[in-house]
Amino acid sequence: KKAENKSEDNIRFCYANAEEIPYADGYFDRASVTFGLHEMPHPVRMNVLREMRRVLKPGGKIIVLDYAHPKRTLAVLLFKVWMLVEGETARDFIKRDLSSMIEDAGFDVIEQNVYWMNTIRIVGGENADQ
């Protein structure tokens, strides 16, 4: 709400169901979701990714930042405790491959990186519709 009250004239906030984004096909050049997909059941998360693709122009870009499955022993232990707090959808999320989910939604993965002891992943994709 604070950001909305301080926003510039060329920024508009829209509150909507991410499975039914109220914009026309191909409306946006870019779309992103940050630490949101792990909160959703898998079918919903796939619907959201497909809906993001629908509202992107051909060649439009997507950036997704969310949890990754850590590899180091200490990070694995800390992450297991954190996943108890997060809940079932997050535990399901980290068992899956984010890049594959993005590809299954119709994007070409163009970049991916992991950070903070491999617990956070950023994946960039491009709308495969040309």
Q: What would the mean pLDDT of 122-130 be, rounded to a whole number?
A: 88
pLDDT in tens, 103-123: 999 999 999 998 887 788 999
| Number of residues written out for the chain | 130
> In this structure, what token pair is assigned to residue 127?
């709308």
Q: What is the CA radius of gyration of the chain?
A: 16
Q: Is the pLDDT of residue 10 over 80?
A: no
Q: Is the pLDDT of residue 6 over 70?
A: no
Give yes or no for a contact between 34 and 66, defined as CB atoms under 8 angstroms apart: yes
CA 106 to chain centre: 14
- What residue ranges define each of the domains in the chain, with the CATH number in brackets? 2-127 (3.40.50.150)
Q: What would the mean pLDDT of 65-70 be, rounded to a whole number?
A: 87
> 24 or 13, which is more confident?
24
Q: Report pTM.
A: 0.84
- Collapsing DSSP to helix, strand or coil, 12 comes out as coil
Q: What would the mean pLDDT of 42-55 be, rounded to a whole number?
A: 97
pLDDT for the residue numbered 2: 59
pLDDT for the residue numbered 5: 59
pLDDT for the residue numbered 128: 84
